[in-house]
Amino acid sequence: MEARVGPDLRHPIFEPVRPWLERLEEPSLEALNRLAEERELRTESGKPVRFVPPAASDPYYEVHVHETGRVHTRPENLHDLFNALAWFAFPRTKARINAMHAAEIPRERGKRGRLRDMLTLFDEGGAVVMCGDPELVEMVRGFRWKELFWEARQRVLAGMRFAVPGHAVLEKALAPWPGIACRAIFVAPGEDPDAGAARWLAGHAARCTPRDLAPLPVFGYPGWFAGSERAEFYDDERYFRRFRIEGRCTPAAGSDMLP
């Protein structure tokens, strides 16, 4: 784990995890576990979360984490480092995701279901959108990107915030480009994004699929990427586009957004 806070990590997308990364004198397992103890990280089963060297591949990994609190973490691996940082920044959300996986695995009888697909998508690429403006939310759901990020940009800046727990997206964001996209859920403005995401997940446990997560090109947020100060930035259909499926307009925005 060789990451250090530098110019890239000053980007707003890293805001939730930055305080924890800054406190790591070195991103070692020992340092992570000191912070985990201080943060009092727990699974929903009550086990203290500790970051440990990886063992053999385990198809019941999430059950193992739920029962022991031991999170396999590869040394010198940025993906695993951001996973650990997500535990610090979003402890309720991470514990809820783990508990839902652990509860669902015995019911699947070896065949992975859509609920766990959703959980994995959110764990790797989730974003929490805090917004109380229903019209802006509908613009996201309708893939009306230029209308949202350009025409309504002042409303977005005033009334819409993103928090990203998805550790794969955070890793990708070290080399940002407009095609990086998240899968989003929506919570009330001013709500703690960790508490809000955990509450949303708990409320949707019985019926969630990946389709319940709204695709979101996070680097379209005004000011998050060079060029977003120009209207034509949002005309690039590689990242901000629509296409038709089964006779209806179904939006898409970049390959990272597709199931």
Is residue 254 over pLDDT 50? no
- Reported confidence tier of residue 108, pLDDT bands at 50, 70, 90: confident
- Of 21-25, 198-202, 249-253, the one with minimum mean pLDDT is 249-253
Residue 109: predicted pLDDT = 75
Would you give the DSSP letter of residue 49?
A: P
pLDDT at 258: 31
pLDDT for the residue 209: 87
Crossing angle for the helix pair 78-89 and 91-108, to the nearest 10 degrees:
110
First-last CA distance in the chain: 30
Q: How many CB atoms lie within 10 A of CB 104?
A: 17
Average pLDDT, the chain: 88
SS3 38: helix
- Give the mean pLDDT of 31-54: 97
| H/E segment holding residue 187 | strand 182-187
Q: What is the model's pLDDT at position 256? A: 37
- Looking at per-residue pLDDT, the higher value among 71 and 75 belongs to 71
For the stretch 186-191, contacts whose Cβ atoms lie closer than 8 Å and that sit 24 or more positions apart, written own/partner, are 186/129, 186/130, 186/131, 186/137, 186/140, 186/214, 187/128, 187/129, 187/130, 188/130, 188/132, 189/130, 189/131, 189/132, 189/159, 189/161, 190/130, 191/130
Cα dihedral: 44, 46, 50, 56 (round 10): -70
| 219 neighbors 254 (Cβ within 8 angstroms) | no
Query: Helix 91-108 to helix 114-125 angle, to the nearest 10 degrees?
Result: 150
Query: 105 near 31, Cβ under 8 Å?
Result: no
Mean pLDDT of 217-228: 96
DSSP 42: B
Comparing CA positions, the residue from 109, 115, 104 lying closest to residue 66 is 104
Tell the residue number behind the tokens 């509908």, with chain if given: 138
Q: How confident is the model at residue 6 (pLDDT cuts 50, 70, 90)?
A: very low
Mean pLDDT of 191-214: 90
Pairing between β-strand 214-216 and β-strand 182-187 as defined by DSSP bridges: antiparallel
3-state SS string over 59-74? CCHHHHHHHHCEEECC
Whether the per-residue pLDDT at 2 is higher than 90: the answer is no
Q: pLDDT tens digit string along 150-163?
A: 999 999 999 999 99
pLDDT at 255 over 60: no
Quick one: pLDDT at residue 259? Answer: 28
Residue 74 to residue 184: CA distance in whole angstroms? 27
How does pLDDT run across 7-28, given as a tens digit for each residue? 468 899 999 999 999 998 888 9
